[in-house]
Structures are given as C-alpha cells and as structure tokens.
Amino acid sequence: MRPVRRLRLLLRLLAIQRTLLRHGLDEIVWRTHLFRPVGWLQKLLPGSQVKRLPIGVRLRHSLEELGPIFVKFGQAVSVRRDLLSPELARELAMLQDRVPPFPPEDAIAIIERAFGRDVGSVFAEFEHEPLAAASIAQVHGARLADGSSVVVKVLRPGVRALIERDIEVLYQLAQLAETYWPDARRLRPVEVVEEFQKTLLHELDLMREAANAAQLKRNFAGSDMLYVPQVYWDYCRSNVMTMERISGIPIGDIDALKASGANIRVLAENGVEIFFTQVFRHNFFHADMHPGNLFIDVTDLSWPRYIAIDFGIVGTLGESDQHYLAENFLAFFRRDYRRVAQLHVDSGWVPEDTRVDELESAVRAVCEPIFDKPLKDISFGLVLLRLFETAREFDMEVQPQLVLLQKTLLSIEGLGRQLYPELDLWKTAKPVLEEWMRERRDPRAQLRRLAERWPEIVDDVLLLPELVHRTIRQHAAATGPQPTARVEHVRITRRGPTDRLLVGAVLLVAGVLWTGLAAQPVWIGWVGAVAGLVVMVAAAR
C-alpha cells in the first residue's frame, strides 16, 4: 500500500474512533487493535456525560455522523428484531427514514442546476420542508402543471465523495485481510467490497433507479399484492427523480395496521410470495425492502396491498444460481441432505473434489436440530446462512451474487414475523418454488427457451460445417496419407461419425425451432427433434 493511501486509511480509522468516543461508545473503541497497546489510558480518562443516553441512541447518532455506508449498515441490522433488543431495534429503525435532512435551499439549487431553470417553472408547486430524509437522498412533495401530486427525490450534496472515501477505506481493509488473514481467500473480501461499491454507486444514479421502478411496475402490472408508483420521466435527471405520490400506512406502524382492521396474516403471507416471485419468476427483486420503503394500502381490508418505494438497489441471479437455490430449499425441507450436498458441488460453490458423503454428514448435523421446531418457526434466512457456514468448512467461497439475496431474505423474514409471528414461510414459499421447478423441467418450456436463444447461437451453428471439415482434414493429416481410391470410396459409401453428428444437430435445431415457433403441424417439430437426438446418440457410439 502506498504511504499516502496508508495515511488516508489511518486518518479515517482515527476519525471513526473519534466519532464513537464522542458519542460515548468508548467500550467499542478501546477493544479495537488500533488502541489496544495504550488501553491503559482508558482508566485515566473521565467518563463521558453522553453515556447517560441509551446505547441505541448513541449508536444511531454515531452511524448518522459517520455517513451513508454506516447508515446502510444500521438499516440492514434494524430489521433483525430476533437478534437485537427491542430498544436497540427501535433506535436503528429510525435510520430508515429519519436521517437529519439537508437544507431545502440546497435541494432547490440542485433541481435548478439539473433542469437549467427556476424551480417554479419546473413544478407548479414545490414543498420546501422534506417529507423524508435518508442516507443517500431526501424527498420533497410537489405538484405538476397538470395537477398530478408527486414526490421529488434529490441526492444529498457531496454524497458521492463521502461514499467513495469510505469505499476506499473498505478496500484497504479488505486487501489487508487478504494479505494477513488465511481465511480471506475463501471469503473473498475484495470481491464483496466490489459488489457493495457497485450497489452503492448504482444508488447514486437516479435515472437507473427510475428504470428499476419502471421494470418492477411492468413485472407486477395488474397485481393485487404489490403496487409500484408511476415514474414521470420528463422530470427525472441523474440526481433528481420524480414519481407519483402515494399514501398508505407505513409497514413499521404495526399498531396502526392492526387498528385499521387489515388482514395481517394475508399481508405477511403475501410479502413472502412477492419476494419469491421476484427472485424466481421475474429474476428481478427489490433488494432494499426495509420498513422505511414499504407502505400498505388498506382500501380492501381483507386483501391489503403493498406499496414499494426506493428502487435504488435491485438484485438478479444467474440461471444456475436460481436453479441451485430453489433445489437447495426444496431438498432441505425434504431432509434430502445428500441432494443438498450434491447441489453444492454441482453449483461450484464448493471445490469439485469435495467428498459428497462428508459434506452430507456435516449438513445433516447442522440441519436436523432445526427440524425440532415447527415449520412456522424455521427461518429461511438462517437456514441459508447455516448451509453456507457449513459448506465453508469445505472451502466454499463467498458468492458475491448471493449477498443481496441473503440480506433481502432476512429483511423480508424479519418483517413477516414482526407482522404475524405465526407466519409459516415454507407453506407460502413452497408452491412458488415447486411450480417454478415444474415449469423449468417442462420439455416444451425448455424448447421454447432454446428457440428464443436461436439468434444467439445461429452464428455458431453456421460455423459447424467449416469446423467439421477442418477437423476431418486435421485427422487425415495426423494419420498419414491414404490411398485416394479408398478415401473416395469411404466418402461415397459411408458417412463418418462427425458427419452424422452434424446431421443430427441440424435436425434437432430445426425441430426445436419448429416447435418453439408454434408452426403447424406441431408433430413435425417433435419428430425432427427426436430424430436429431437419435442420430446424434448413434453417432456418438
């Protein structure tokens, strides 16, 4: 590490420690390696008056002062009421939408620079007092010229520089870990920081967030479970976003929800179904579903509907990760530990030379005690974490693409149990997972997917004859010259196995295209595909 960067890291660490001390969290500071050599000084310092405040208040104030990255951490932790004391959880929950706002004059100046004109000519009305303030941006009410009631989200001034500074600190810490910590290779801290950086920087582009909102709205068009506000594209810029103004009960206000008479059980179950639908059906999920971003429409008390806001963080998974994740959940609840172990090997989450029987035994030892509880008391998020923790003993590497999923699942689960403690997540999630797996295994669906990808593979298919010809010539050159008459005889009287493979591949692709494009009669496509498979199998023998 270069001296300047090392100095910058040290100064930031000292600033963090100073902030913790100022807010009366010296018990944390003096336990760190940075001050351990002079820990005896703690006894000589006077006690802080701020310690009279509850620890939750002190911690919240520290995170707010330390900046967006630390606020995000507090938001993520706040939903885990099963891990925190009620007082601490309540204080950290205030980070979700009660971060101190920045001056409205700054917000107006940002809007006017973004649109190149006076705020009064952009909006018919603009409310100076913010409706809510978060770590990245704050929201103001406004009205458009056509009378539409909207909210205007404005990035905090200087927020990018703050995030880039702390990201650099995280990179330095991750690199130090990789250098001096033997376990770091498996945990891949630098890749985890890269994923975190990508997520945070995406949040700083409000045009990207608007696009995420539009996609999610299309995915749930006509849904009676989730509503996504409309984006007003003419009033969006990279640091300003304008959306439809919605009204509803904040999901964190449990007392108000119960007082409204809304069906809390349906609400909790629908939340789980929404999450699994996003992950497996749409492969596009809202990954920041803390209570500050969710409201409830109680127009229909028997079927309350979620309203989501803040689409800066979304997640997707690769097809293989989707498949192995769904299979893992289903195998776990069937207690098929052999299948769980094999899936970890097949997915590449653990090294391919891992002994499946040993991993199976380790998974069984972890999972069997969980089944002493009723299904309604089993935590999906903790099951996933426990499975990964067990696999780490077999050199499983951290999967950065699953970090957002784990965080979101734990958040959804925490919210669901907070709403309805008797929530049975498995009962709600199982039908979604099983139906998704059935659809994936349906031959017709597989053929349709192959047909949809035809434009991607057509160039490769067209190259096959040239590759086959080249392979035959190389084989002939390697085996030496043959009598011309014999070669010609072979060409005329008998096709070689490579030729038959080519013919089979052509028949298979043609059959798939015929079926996938719903051409008539359908049986021609099936016959072509089956004939192609038969020819290819025969050639392989």
The CA distance from 518 to 510, in Å, is 12
528 closest CA partner among 463, 459, 516 = 516
Question: What is the predicted pLDDT for the residue at 130?
Answer: 93
Question: What is the predicted pLDDT for the residue at 451?
Answer: 66
DSSP-derived 3-state class of residue 225: coil
Question: What is the predicted pLDDT for the residue at 199?
Answer: 76
Which regions in the chain score pLDDT beneath 50? Answer: 31-48, 82, 484-495, 517-518
Q: What is the phi/psi pair of residue 331, to 5°? A: -65, -40
Question: What is the predicted pLDDT for the residue at 61?
Answer: 85
Contact 224, 305 (CB under 8 A): yes
Give CA 395 to chain center in angstroms. 23
Q: What is the largest CA-CA distance in the chain?
A: 103
> Annotated catalytic residue: which of 97, 166, 288, 321?
288
Question: What is the predicted pLDDT for the residue at 399?
Answer: 64
The CA distances from residue 357 to 100, 351, 363, 394, 418, in Å, are: 54, 14, 10, 12, 38
The CA distance from 271 to 306, in Å, is 8
Residue 288 is a catalytic residue: yes
The CA distances from residue 466 to 271, 470, 478, 498, 539, in Å, are: 54, 6, 18, 12, 19
Question: What is the predicted pLDDT for the residue at 490?
Answer: 39
Average pLDDT of the residues of the chain: 77
Question: What is the predicted pLDDT for the residue at 38?
Answer: 43
Question: What is the predicted pLDDT for the residue at 464?
Answer: 59
pTM score of the predicted model: 0.70
Tell me the two tokens of residue 337.
């530990």
